[in-house]
Amino acid sequence: MRRLLSLVVVALLSARCAVAQSGDHGEVFGGYSYINKDFTLTLPTGGLTGWNASVTLKVARHAGIVADFSGYYPGYTYGCGGCGQSAKIHSFLFGPQASFTVGRVTPFARFLIGDSHVHTTADGIPNLGTFTSNNSFTYGAGGGVDFRLTHRFALRGQVDWLHNQFQTVDDQRIQFETRNVARISTGIVFRF
């Protein structure tokens, strides 16, 4: 994980140097997010709501490097007088993004790779038996559209397809929880 973060820091610093030389700008996004499946095995049905944030640094007029982060916090209470399970999911994804502007609208497409981290608890006690590892290599692709409100602010709607593969332990048998999820996010973009 440290090696991945070091690589990302070097890539972002390199991109920032290129931005300074080209005069192009970057953007920061933050907002609401929904994924259509709970891959943490916490909720019996349904999707998850949470947050999504990203920073994009332009390296050319129509290309940039994006760092994308998201978090979800599912919880479920069983009928045994308050018994329950909860989880924390965080994804850290990075990759190239291409965009172009037509009037007030800026569509974009991107490819992301990185890591998803899950921490589960049952009745407030860390649940170590659910996953053999709390991390999963994650990759995906997606895109969206920004609608410019002012020179600095825009509204964003985006959809990403993400794939991860967490390994679970069930009665001493190893199984794989392969999940392809759709992530829908909306929020505000600040351009700098």
Residue 150: CB atoms within 10 Å: 7
Name the 3-class secondary structure at 155: strand
pLDDT at 27 over 70: yes
Q: How far is CA 136 from CA 117, 119, 152, 190, in A?
A: 7, 12, 36, 30
The better pLDDT of the pair 89, 126 is held by: 89
Per-residue pLDDT at 76:
72
For 28-68, how does the pLDDT look when each residue is reduced to its tens digit (9 = 90+)? Answer: 999 999 998 876 667 667 788 999 999 999 999 899 999 99
pLDDT at 22 over 50: no
pLDDT at 79 over 70: no
* Class of residue 186 by CB neighbours under 10 A (exposed 0-12, middle 13-18, buried 19+): middle
pLDDT at 124 over 70: no
Structural domains of the chain, with CATH: 2-191 (2.40.160.20)
For 133-178, how does the pLDDT look when each residue is reduced to its tens digit (9 = 90+)? Answer: 678 889 999 999 999 999 999 999 999 999 987 766 654 445 555 5
* Residue 58, token pair as written in the block: 């332009």
pLDDT bin (cut points 50, 70, 90) of residue 78 is low
Alpha-carbon distance of 180 to 117, in angstroms, equals 16
Per-residue pLDDT at 177:
58
pLDDT bin (cut points 50, 70, 90) of residue 74 is confident
Residue 141: CB atoms within 10 Å: 14
